[in-house]
Amino acid sequence: MTKFIGILCWSDIIDGKKYQSINTAFSEMIEKAGATPIIFPQIAEMIKVDHFLDLVDGVLLIGGSDISPHLYGEDPTRYIWDTNPRRDVVEMNFLQRAIERKVPIFAVCRGMQLLNVYLGGDLYQDIYEQKEKVMNHSDRDNRKITYYHNISIEKDSHMEKIFGSKTLVNSYHHQAIRKLAGDLKATARANDGIIEAVEYKNEDQFILGVQFHPEVPEDNPKFQEIYKYFVSQL
Ligand code: MN
């Protein structure tokens, strides 16, 4: 019997029309890992969130716009990019129910940041303005450049089981975790201290968050392994 993973869409406005979509690589990599993806539109109503969760064995939160800073008690600085308050609400509701119901969660980039905020942590609205001696974690001038950096991985973590003690990851973010939520542990960091992976301390639920983008398989031969590992935890 196949396992089902629910992927929440991001939203976009293209030529004045509203779209909800995912990067196809997410569904392909989940399929390749032996599970079946189900794509969820952005519906916030709790009763429907529950119905969605009834359909799946795990949830995948994907990347996208900045997290609204009011969710961690701040006003936007000049350096914040676009936010999407509606999507914040949808994903916070999914996180609330998935955590209450102990549904396994894999959270990528924005998803990991939102998870940290949901659990009581906060974020750098912009690492370049708010953290000293930070390296390049993103293309800041829209030159379509991808930056890569090493991450060091904690022993006895899910991350270590997938990648070993060190690996090279892509980096497309200008926000990052500042105060880590008490229920999370940082299991990978870049050399400048930026948190690149988190895991749930509560061992009766699988939650893994990564700051990098494992949906780009050519960036690291082990990225496909993350999805296999996730499926093995369902
Ligand atoms: Mn990074």
Express each pLDDT in 150-176 by its tens digit. Answer: 999 999 999 999 999 999 999 999 999
Kindly state the average pLDDT of the residues 104-128.
97
Measured CA to CA, the distance from residue 175 to residue 67 in angstroms comes to: 9
Ligand 1 centroid distance, CA of 61 (Å): 18
Ligand 1 centroid distance, CA of 17 (Å): 32
Ligand 1 centroid distance, CA of 150 (Å): 9
Residue 149 has pLDDT above 90, yes or no: yes
pTM of the full structure = 0.96
Catalytic, 109? Answer yes
Q: Which of 9, 91, 109, 158 is catalytic?
A: 109
Percent of the chain with pLDDT over 70: 100
pLDDT recorded at residue 38: 97
Question: In Å, how far are 50, 111, 220 from 212, measured between CA atoms?
Answer: 29, 11, 11
Residue 108 has pLDDT above 80, yes or no: yes
Using an 8 Å Cβ cutoff, are 188 and 159 in contact?
A: yes
Q: Which of 158, 173, 174, 213 is catalytic?
A: 213
- Residue 194 is given by DSSP the state -
Using an 8 Å Cβ cutoff, are 43 and 87 in contact?
A: no
CA dihedral 61, 207, 160, 201 (to 10 degrees): 140
pLDDT recorded at residue 12: 84
Residue 77 has pLDDT above 90, yes or no: yes
Catalytic, 100? Answer no
Q: Which of 91, 196, 199, 215 is catalytic?
A: 215
Ligand 1 centroid distance, CA of 166 (Å): 14
Ligand 1 centroid distance, CA of 172 (Å): 7
Band the pLDDT of 194: cuts 50, 70, 90. very high
